[in-house]
Amino acid sequence: MISVERAVIFMEETISPKSEKPLMLEAILSCPILTRMSNQLLADGVKRFFVVCGPEFAAEARACFPAEADVTVSELQSDLTAFLNTPDQVLVLNRSAVPMPEAGPGFAYAAPGYELQEAWKVRMTNAVQAAELVPGWLPVFGPATIAELEPVLRERT
């Protein structure tokens, strides 16, 4: 497992028809997906978070983390670039996901902050040269995925 102390979480722009908010703020078993994500990341040793999110959902996104957590919620590229000003590995979660130990490597990845700065600001691409896929995250694509996951998660709690 890659050791990271920073994570960037991109909140989807797609609004759930059920609640008229981003999928990441939808609940699975009474707990927002973003809260499940933050709890796992904190348990994994992540100390700083950047949530890419517009102002209309910023307060709700911030509430998914403990009050003492170091969290920046912003949609400004300048804020993200400042957060990525590090040679250290940064975990990137580009959509809603549920931590599942058996999930193999897929869409979550980690790369040095400087590399992410370069790729996202200068080259304007998601093709990050030094990225390593990170296992343990199962993507959530919508209400159907939530319905499929709830019985599995219910058994685990």
**What is the mean pLDDT for each group of 10 consecutive residues in the chain (157 residues)?**
88 72 90 95 96 94 97 95 95 93 88 90 68 91 86 83
Query: Considering only CA atoms, which of 23, 19, 155 is closest in space to residue 100?
Result: 155
Q: pTM to 2 decimals?
A: 0.90
With respect to residue 1, please indicate whether it lies within any of the assigned structural domains: no
With respect to residue 93, please indicate whether it lies within any of the assigned structural domains: yes
Total structural domains within the chain = 1
pLDDT at position 126, please? 65
Cα(38)–Cα(29) distance, integer angstroms: 16
Alpha helices by DSSP H, listed for 84-142, are: 113-117
Tokens of 111: 């790369």
The CATH number of the domain holding residue 90 is 3.90.550.10
Range of the domain at 63: 6-156
